[in-house]
């Protein structure tokens, strides 16, 4: 379980706080969505959890252990990152995924590392891609490789930063389905930053609505209301129910 308490962060002493008193709890097997408009602090929050950025104050714990004091390597075994636009270099799919095992092997990959990579390739239907060069793949395929690379870390938690940013609808669905599968089958927590409300409702169990670095609302789907969206996104929307699902539609100036 991830527990963030009163986390504050700024990029430099002269700049304003980008995260202010952030509290967030995410249990194993749950998909948590950080929702907010551009510049609200979503990426900065993910990077604090990952240890890429160090908080000014507050605490970050995973299963009771202090993440801030943990080495990068120890943290990588617990929490894996699927970044927005991953750059792999001219590697094969297999080697790109194997690189995810780096926090486990000292100099070269062992048999166990290879077996884990092969299992993830198989689980994700990627075996026939193994020898392809990642640079030749489509955006959605590369994103899938990025997920595979994160999964071979055998993490207890995954963090996705805007995973569907550059993808078409079919690939969006594919990536969100992979996330849901990982949460359910491996019973790991998944934290996803998103700005698309309908995608968030489709996949999320818990929601953290962030504005100017502050979490204004936390909870299940019930926290996604027209009023909350107006406040957090400065946008007018209408929420309708279709097939018992909440759908957000534009209720603003475009008519
Ligand atoms: P989001 O992911 O929600 O779009 P970010 O976390 O990227 O938001 O940004 C939050 C705020 O932090 C923004 O005001 C942004 O300009 C600022 N910011 C982001 N990265 C840096 C940086 N490297 N140095 C200084 N300010 C930054």
Atom 14 in ligand 1: residue holding the nearest Cα:
39
Highest averaged pLDDT of the listed ranges 57-61, 85-89, 127-131, 183-187: 57-61
CA 79 to ligand 1 center in whole angstroms: 22
- Give CA–CA dist 185/43, Å, rounded: 26
Kindly report, residue by residue over 25-36, the tens digit of the pLDDT: 999 999 999 999
Q: Which atom of ligand 1 is nearest to the CA of 36?
A: 3
The pLDDT-based confidence of 163 (bands split at 50, 70, 90) is: confident
What's the pLDDT at 125? 85
Give distance in angstroms: CA of 51 to centre of ligand 1. Answer: 16
pLDDT tens, residue by residue, 52-94 = 999 999 999 999 999 999 988 888 889 999 887 777 778 899 9
Contacts 24+ apart (CB under 8 A), 178-181: 178/124, 178/144, 178/147, 179/31, 179/147, 179/203, 180/31
Q: What is the mean pLDDT of residues 103-132?
A: 85
Task: Report, at the CATH architecture level, how domain 1-78+157-225 is classified.
Answer: 3-Layer(aba) Sandwich (3.40)
- 213: confidence class by pLDDT, cuts 50, 70, 90: very high
Q: How far is the CA of 195 from the centre of ligand 1 (A)?
A: 15
Pocket test for ligand 1, best of 16, 18, 163 (most atoms within 8 A of CB): 18
How far is the CA of 37 from the CAs of 186, 212, 231, in angstroms? 30, 9, 11
Ligand 1 neighbours, Cβ below 6 Å, are 11, 15, 18, 36, 38-44
Identify the pLDDT of residue 253.
59
Enumerate the CATH 3.40.50.300 domain ranges in the chain, comma separated. 1-78+157-225
């Amino acid at each position: 379980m991830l527990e963030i308490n009163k986390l504050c962060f700024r990029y430099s002493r002269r700049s304003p706080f980008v995260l202010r008193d952030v509290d967030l709890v995410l249990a194993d097997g749950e998909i948590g969505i950080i929702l907010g408009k551009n510049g609200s602090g979503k990426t900065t929050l993910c990077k604090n959890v990952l240890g890429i950025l160090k908080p000014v104050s507050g605490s970050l714990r995973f299963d009771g252990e202090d993440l801030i004091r943990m080495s990068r390597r120890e943290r990588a075994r617990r929490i894996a990152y699927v970044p927005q636009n991953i750059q792999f270099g001219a590697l094969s799919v297999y080697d790109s995924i194997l690189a995810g095992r780096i926090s486990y092997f000292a100099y070269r990959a062992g048999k166990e590392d290879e077996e884990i990579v092969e299992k993830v390739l198989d689980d994700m239907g990627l075996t026939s891609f193994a020898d392809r060069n990642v640079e030749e793949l489509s955006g959605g395929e590369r994103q899938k490789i990025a997920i595979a690379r994160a999964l071979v870390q055998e993490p207890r938690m995954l963090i996705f930063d805007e995973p569907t940013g550059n993808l078409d609808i079919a690939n969006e669905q594919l990536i969100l389905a992979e996330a849901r599968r990982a949460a359910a089958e491996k019973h790991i927590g998944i934290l996803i930053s998103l700005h698309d409300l309908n995608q968030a409702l489709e996949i999320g169990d818990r929601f953290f609505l962030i504005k100017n670095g502050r979490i204004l609302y936390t909870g299940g789907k019930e926290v996604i209301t027209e009023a909350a969206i107006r406040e957090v996104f400065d946008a007018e929307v209408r929420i309708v129910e279709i097939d018992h699902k909440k759908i957000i539609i534009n209720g603003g100036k475009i008519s």
